[in-house]
Chain A
Amino acid sequence: MIGKLLPWLTATDIPRPKPNAVEVELANVRKSYLTGAGEFVALKGIDLSVKNGEFVAVVGKSGNGKSTLINMITGIDRPTSGEVWVAGTAVHRLTENQIAVWRGRTVGVVFQFFQLLPTLTVMENVMLPMDFCNVYDRAERPERAMNLLNLVGVGDQADKVPANLSGGQQQRVAIARSLANDPPLLVADEPTGNLDPRTAEAVIELFRELTQDGKTILMVTHDEDLAHCAGRIVTVSEGRIVADGRGEGRYE
């Protein structure tokens, strides 16, 4: 009995990703919801492949399925049908609990509204994923967190709580947190949607630097200009990928 429970408790069966071995593969992914007005199909058979080290921008109008698409990749949502493979893992087959642990180690998620825990300090927020996933030694974690905060330029804010930081600073902390367990894949949903243009550019610059370090980045945005900073632009409309081309890679 205990033997059966152990994997659930510790999720030891989750494979650790190999460095730079990430490959996102979506095969005929379909997602529909039942609403008061009947069935709403958000994704209508998406096929997408992302290679290691790519900086991909997902663009499209509101309500056309961009967020649903990346939620499939992060495991935040599940496909109604089709397959989602990330770093060799069949995400669509994992349980909710396995997904949480897998995500913590494999995917760094950055939200539009930062989503930092309000009662923890900036430093503690960044250390939290390491704590949950037990990736680094306990003694190593504070130093790593501080390095990440320095990397995103908010090292001097480490002991403050999120409410005392500006929006741009909070988003930088959120990015530092997403990198806490050194995941190969970073997924950002409208990361600049809540920021002024100058801060937004700084965030994109940070992403660019991260891809140079080997990270794969998927970013949802409705800002066409920012999208062109990415190396590849995937356009989603009415639940389908209607365009998939190279971006200007303005910062590259």
Chain B
Amino acid sequence: MNDYVFLAPRWCKVWSDLWGNKVRTLLVVLSISVGVFAVGMVYSSYLMFQRDLAASFGAASPANASLLTDPFDEELLESVRSLKNVKEVEGRRNVNLRISTGDGQWRQMVLVAIPDYNKQKVNVVRHLSGAWPPEEGDVLLERSSVVALGVKKGDRIIVETSAGRKRSVKVTGVVYDSSQTPSSFSGNYYGYISMNTLEKLDESRQLNQVNLVVKPGVLQGNDTTAIKVVGRQAWRKLEQGDAKVSWMQVNKPGEHQMQGAINALLLLLAVLGVLALFLGTFLLVNTVSAILTQQVRQVGIMKSIGASRAQILRMYLSLVGAYGILALLVAVPLGALAAKGVTGFISGMFNFDSGGLELPPSVIILETVVAVLVPLMAALGPVWRGTGITVREALNDYGISSVQTKGRVDRLVDYYLGRMKRLPRPILLSLRNTFRRKGRLVLTLLTLTVAGTVFMAVFSVRTSLYSTLDQALDYFHYDVMVEFTDSYRANRIEQAVLEVPGVKAVECWDRMSGRVLRDEGKESETDDSKNVFILAPPVKTQMIKPQIIEGRWLLPDDENAAVVNTEVLKDSPQLKVGESAVIMVGNRKLRLTVVGVVQGILAGPIVYAPYDWLPGAVQEAGRARSVQLVSDSADTKEQSSLGRRLEEHLKKSSLRVKNVTITWEQKKLIRSQFDIITTFLLIMAVLLAGVGALGLAGTMGINVLERTREIGVMRAIGASSLDIGKVFVVEALWIGLLSWAAGMILAVPVAAMLSYQVGMLFLKNPLTFSFSFMGVAIWLGLATLLSVIASLLPAWNATRLSVRDVLSYE
């Protein structure tokens, strides 16, 4: 008896609705959970990123500006330090050298020499393990390079010096440099050495990088104007001291260089998270409506024995609230774990420390609101309608049923189904059943269609990313590129290259970096001068496939002609076809006439000039700084092997190699970066597909319950279990196919929009849109599979009903 005192019967009913139908409860809880999980994961990740980036990046005292220069003596730094608004300044030496580990493969490594490791104040490199600071002849590796290089403490690395000599350095420790993009992501490797080691590597004890921090009082929020002013002052000071500045990088104060990309990723996740929440809410509305439809009679009974509408309303809203609380219990730990995974993954990718799991109250509050309040608000409509029914309507034992007429959709369905005379009767029943509950059908279709649309659109974004990449790399028609540390005579390079078996075609190019000047009178860095790469291929090059947008490509008679790509025009919009451009290369001013504009994709700002003219203009006539070649084999392994053999041979021929780029490896690296974006999108798309499947399973479960009597009748007139199961599976399949067709139509504009946004967010350029038919095919397969899976349990439940069960069903 005490049990009854503890829990009033009406709450016993709520409990039995919750616990008595575990499959339904599970479906509703899961559908709410998906949305709560997604929203919680994204918000939690966002907060953890803010915390980790601030902690990891802030601890390293990031530079506000970095200037790359010709080598200079340490004393020159004092003149920069004396600038009014400079708080801290430090110099470093970066050298790009070829290194070889035990596997015999040569790679490019950035070796950083810091004058005093124990007195670092800007872009602080943190000691993680092993020796500290690096002794003479030692190298400490950036943590991301250790794994990528496959070396361990005690291993030796062979470094080829700029003088062409080979020196051995020992790996003695591991450091963390938050200012570097991890090796696995960037393809670069980083080593940290002492100034003494620098000398051993045939480099002078000079610096070529200045990192500075401006005084906090000068900064206004994350505005970079003040930093640019101080940076330009430092630039002038350095050039006055004969250190030519080639590049200035200005960072937003307190913001990680990857903050933009991380925010873009989170924005995408947030959009998909909210979408998952909406779909979960649709599903909840569907289920709550169905529960009330199924319990109309019970509502009537309760009213007939004295329950007021408010009491019944409270009961059903409590049920929804209970679903929400259960969903919260499921989603909170999962969301936190997923956020930890996402943060760990991205922190590894962008090289910052993840502070581990944290569940701030604001996340719990948001999740509670999403899990409890959103479903309650969504359910209010169906619950209000459902409880508003009169006893007479609910019990419907009046003897006069309302006249049911068929609507336009029913007549249309009947018309088309009537024409399908060859279809078996049970299949026709399934197809007709699909349109019986139109409100429910619309919500189920909406859920599945949105899931399918996003799924297919994500595939199209992936294809668009790949085709943008293909298009970018297809621009350059060579398999291997070798850059040299110096310029060499082109015929010497060609001769050496052709001695290596497997080379089909070869072209020597000159290449250098420069700055486009807006005002010819100004030689030092101003807002008006922009960095560009200058490439000088032969005018009849077979290794560039330019897409001319305006003007023309280079011609044999051209001398100081230039073709610029669209990336150059973004920074220097004043350049027009037919007008001249002034570019500073080293200490020389080159005046060129722009003859054409070509499409630039992912290649950065490039100015093309004729090979027959450019080397001569910089006093290097007949010489080249790079060689591009085509392999006679299409096999990627063969092309990589050719690159390695070529490097060995060129070194033997006393040509000092700066870098060897294998096109397909480059493509693979960029693809893997793109895959990060698409993986995130796909995870969310799969989540949405899961919600869609849950929605369908819920709908089919409700349909089985509603048609219990119908199943009994079919059983009574001889339908086998297979026949009954088939009715529901075919109905689910039909819904799946309808949603697939609707999703396919919607996916085209959504994919175009998403591709544009992803392109602008991550590449600052719209992607080359390409619709993925593979995505359409995969979703067709998946929608079919999900439909079958979603209907199997309800169908199985239907087949288990006996005529006796059905007759006793209320």
Report which of B306, B310, B392, B397 forms a contact with A112, defined as CB distance below 8 A: B397
> Chain A contacts of B400 at CB under 8 A?
33, 35, 40, 42
Asked if A180 meets B305 with Cβ closer than 8 Å, knowing A119-B13, A120-B12, the reply is yes
A131 CA to B399 CA, complexed, in Å: 31
A97 contacts B309, C-beta separation under 8 Å: yes
A141: interface (CB < 8 Å): yes
For the complex, what is the distance from the CA of A111 to the CA of B392, rounded to whole Å? 12
Known: A63-B399, A112-B397. A129 touches B306 (CB 8 A): yes
Give chain B nearest CB distance to A215 CB in angstroms: 16
Asked whether A163 is an interface residue with its Cβ less than 8 Å from the other chain, the reply is yes
B9 & A100 in contact (Cβ 8 Å cutoff): no
Complex CA–CA separation, A124 to B1 (angstroms): 11
Q: Is A240 interfacial (CB-CB < 8 Å)?
A: no
Task: Kindly state whether residue A21 has any CB partner on chain B within 8 Å.
Answer: no
Q: Could you tell me if B397 and A139 are in contact, using CB atoms closer than 8 angstroms? A: no
Q: Which residue of B lies closest to A33 (CB)?
A: B400
Question: Cβ of B1: which chain A residues have Cβ within 8 Å of it?
Answer: 142-143, 146
Whether B310 and A8, one on each chain, are in contact in the complex, defined by CB atoms closer than 8 angstroms, is yes
Stretch at the interface among A46-54, A101-109, A230-238: A101-109
- B390 interface residue (CB < 8 Å to A): yes
For the complex, is B304 an interface residue (Cβ under 8 Å from A)?
yes
On whether the beta carbons of B308 and A131 are closer than 8 Å, the reply is no
Whether a CB of chain A sits under 8 angstroms from the CB of B20 is: yes
- In contact, A117 and B392 (Cβ under 8 angstroms): no
Chain B residue numbers with a CB within 8 Å of A101 are: 306, 308
Contact A76 B4 (CB under 8 A): no
Provide the bound-state CA to CA distance between A184 and B681, in Å: 67
Contact string, A187-208, partner B, CB cutoff 8 A, digits 1/0?
A: 0010000000000000000000
Q: Which A residues lie within 8 Å of B12 (CB)?
A: 120-121, 124
- Render A107-140 as a binary contact track against B, CB cut-off 8 A, 1 for contact: 0010111011111110111011101110000110
B436 CB–A CB distance under 8 Å = no
Chain B minimum-CB-distance residue to A178 = B305
Residue of A nearest to B6 (CB): A138
Question: Nearest-CB distance from B584 to chain A (Å)?
Answer: 76
Decide if the interface of chain B is mainly helix, strand, loop or mixed: helix
User: By the criterion CB–CB under 8 Å, are B309 and A132 in contact?
Assistant: no
Once the chains bind, are A120 and B13 in contact (CB under 8 Å)? Answer: yes
Name, among A67, A104, A121, A133, the residue most crowded by chain B CB atoms within 10 Å (CB to CB): A104
- Nearest CB of chain B from residue A96's CB, rounded to whole Å: 6
Chain A residues closer than 8 Å to B298, beta-carbon distance: 117-118
CA distance A11 to B310 in the complex (A): 10
Distance A133 CA – B808 CA, assembled complex (angstroms): 30
CB of A138 within 8 A of CB of B8, answer yes
Cross-chain contact A119 with B16 (CB below 8 angstroms): yes
B8 touches A131 (CB 8 A): yes
Would you call A212 an interface residue if the criterion is a C-beta within 8 Å of the partner chain's C-beta atoms?
no
Contact A117 B13 (CB under 8 A): yes
Whether A76 contacts B9 in the complex (CB less than 8 A), given A119-B20, A132-B302, comes out as no
Of B8, B300, B397, the residue contacting A67 (CB under 8 A) is B397
Does B720 lie at the interface of the complex (its beta carbon under 8 Å from any beta carbon of A)?
no
Report the bound CA distance from A199 to B405 in whole Å. Answer: 41
Bound: A163/B806 CA distance, A:
12
Give the interface size bracket for A toward B: 35 or more
Let me know if A30 is at the binding interface, CB within 8 A.
Answer: no
Partner of B305, one of A67, A109, A123, A142: A109
Residue of B nearest to A190 (CB): B397
State A59–B304 Cα separation when bound (angstroms): 22
Contact check, B403 vs A128: say whether CB atoms are below 8 A apart: no
- Complex Cα distance A10/B415, Å? 52
Is A71 at the interface (CB under 8 A from chain B)?
Answer: yes
Are B390 and A97 in touch, CB under 8 angstroms? no
Tell me whether B17 and A119 are in contact (CB under 8 A): yes
B297 to chain A minimum Cβ distance, whole angstroms, is 7
Interface string of B296-329 (1 = CB under 8 A from A): 0110111111111111000000000000000000
> Which residues does chain B contribute within 8 Å of A100, judged by CB atoms?
303, 306-309, 391
Which of B17, B308, B310, B398 has the most CB atoms of chain A within a 10 A radius of its CB?
Answer: B308
With contacts A76-B390, A115-B395, A118-B810 taken as known, whether A125 is within 8 angstroms of B9 at the C-beta atoms is yes
**Contacting residues, chain A, for B397 (C-beta < 8 A):** 67, 111-113, 189
CB pair B302 A9 closer than 8 Å: no
Complex alpha-carbon distance, A103 and B297, angstroms = 17
Asked if A181 CB lies within 8 Å of chain B CBs, one says yes
A223 sits at the interface (CB 8 A): no
CA distance in complex: A71, B400 (Å):
14
**Within 8 Å CB of A178, what residues of B?**
305
Least CB separation from A181: chain B residue: B306
| B97 CB → nearest A CB, Å | 77
C-alpha spacing A42/B399, complex, angstroms: 11
- Which residues on the B side are within 8 Å of A115 (C-beta)? 297, 300-301, 304, 395
Chain A residues whose CB sits within 8 angstroms of the CB of B391 once the complex forms? 74, 76, 100
CB atoms of A35 and B13 under 8 A apart: no
Q: How far is the CA of A178 from the CA of B395 in the complex (A)?
A: 16
Q: Bound complex: CA of A181 vs CA of B390, how far in Å?
A: 21
The verdict on A105 contacting B5 (CB below 8 Å), with A67-B397, A76-B390 known, is no
Question: Which single residue of chain B is at the shortest CB-CB distance from A63?
Answer: B399
Q: Which of B272-299 contact A (CB under 8 A)?
A: 297-298
Mark contacts of A31-46 with chain B using CB atoms, 8 A cut-off: 1 yes-contact digit, 0 otherwise: 0010110001010000
Minimum CB distance partner of B399 in chain A: A63
Tell me whether A97 and B4 are in contact (CB under 8 A).
no
For the complex, is A172 an interface residue (Cβ under 8 Å from B)?
Answer: no
Q: Say yes or no: is B10 at the interface (Cβ < 8 Å to chain A).
A: yes
Q: Which of A11, A63, A74, A142 contacts B308 (CB 8 A)?
A: A11
Contact across chains for A131 and B9 when beta carbons are under 8 A apart: yes
Tell me if B403 and A127 are in contact (CB < 8 A): no
A63 and B307 CA atoms in complex are apart in Å by: 29
B304 touches A74 (CB 8 A): yes
Q: Is the CB of A132 within 8 A of B17?
A: no
Instruction: Report A-chain residues with C-beta under 8 Å of the C-beta of B9.
Output: 120, 124-125, 127-128, 131
Report A153-200 residues with CB < 8 Å from chain B CB. 163, 177-178, 180-181, 189
Shortest distance between the CB of A104 and any CB in chain B (Å): 1
Is B390 touching A96 in the complex (CB atoms < 8 A)? yes
Cβ A128 vs Cβ B4 within 8 A: no
Q: Roughly how many angstroms separate A138 CA and B12 CA in the complex, as a whole number? A: 14
Q: Cβ of A96: which chain B residues have Cβ within 8 Å of it?
A: 309, 390
Nearest Cβ distance between residue B443 and chain A, in whole angstroms? 26
Which residue of B is nearest A113, CB measured?
B397
CB contacts under 8 Å to A, within B202-252, are none
CB closest residue in chain A, given B307: A132
Residue A77 at the B interface, CB < 8 A? yes
Q: In the bound complex, what is the Cα–Cα distance between A88 and B398 (angstroms)? A: 27
Interface string of A52-66 (1 = CB under 8 A from B): 000000000011000
Q: Which residues of B contact A119 (CB under 8 A)?
A: 13, 16-17, 20
Smallest CB gap from A37: residue in B: B403
In whole Å, how far is B810's beta carbon from the nearest beta carbon of chain A?
A: 5
| 12 A-B pairs with C-beta separation under 8 A | A74-B304, A74-B391, A77-B392, A96-B390, A97-B309, A97-B310, A100-B303, A100-B308, A116-B301, A131-B9, A132-B302, A133-B306
Please provide the 3 A-B residue pairs with the shortest distance between their CB atoms, ordered closest to farther: A104-B306, A36-B403, A119-B16
